[in-house]
Amino acid sequence: MKILLYTHSDYSWVWKYWHQQTDKFLPDYDKICFLNSESNFRDDYHTIKYDDNDNYKDRIYSCLEKLDNDLIVLFCHEDMFLYNTPNFTILNEYINLIKENKCDTIKLIKAFENLEESKLHNKLFKNPDNQLFSIQPTILKVKTLKYIYSTVPGNNIWKFEGNTNKKHLNDLISLCSFDEKLDIKRGKYHYDSSVFPYICTAVIKGKWNFKEYKKELFEIFYNKKFNIFSYYLSKIKF
């Protein structure tokens, strides 16, 4: 498996923290970056450039065409970085399920209630028919990602994600990771992930998401344990 990052130079101010956390927790994985053509990324990434004039879907698809169809990737966006060590044993079990074609996608977070359990793994559940894919970190093959981005309508990221339903992805076997004992509700819409403990959207409308990830962002920015007094003293700097 390789780490596949989609990003844009408009979010270059986030890259420092993406690199910091990925270097810390995922140092041994090869990495690929999809990036707009006017920008440059770190040399240790295999960077594939897209045309900034293309819409979101076309940007990603044009880059995917340059990768091997059977390559397994962990697809991420730049503001969804780790804050703790993944459970690599379970991650490897998930990777094997994708490799053996037991399922098509495994999203590393749960975002809906009352999901049906999967028989493939005791920490996997079936995604609902109204959202079979999202831009959250997901393990899948390149050919599956190509199928999704060529099939689902919607020229921007929000319309695209809103259309990832059974109507357009009828034959997709789509699962999500959830540990009923360890993964607690975070905010209004999603749960934490003990398998891949990452910040589910660190940036909202151009600002750091302190509302849901105050402790985690503080510790990432300052590389020290969180305490509420230090947080309020430092908050003005963000």
The pLDDT of residue 238: 46
| Number of domains, the chain | 1
Q: Looking at the domain assignment, is residue 194 inside a domain?
A: yes
Tens-place pLDDT, residues 211-230: 999 999 989 998 766 555 45
Domain of 27?
2-204
Q: Looking at the domain assignment, is residue 97 inside a domain?
A: yes
Tokens of 62: 């044009």
Closest residue by Cα to residue 140 from 58, 47, 67: 67
Q: Looking at the domain assignment, is residue 216 inside a domain?
A: no
**CATH number of the domain that residue 149 is part of:** 3.90.550
The pLDDT of residue 159: 93
Q: Looking at the domain assignment, is residue 211 inside a domain?
A: no
Residues of the chain with pLDDT > 90, as a percent, come to 82
Q: Looking at the domain assignment, is residue 59 inside a domain?
A: yes
Tens-place pLDDT, residues 3-41: 999 999 999 999 999 999 999 999 999 999 999 987 889
Mean pLDDT value across the chain: 92
DSSP letter string, 24-69: HH-TTS-EEEEEETT----TTSEEEEE-TTS-HHHHHHHHHTTS-T
Q: Looking at the domain assignment, is residue 236 inside a domain?
A: no
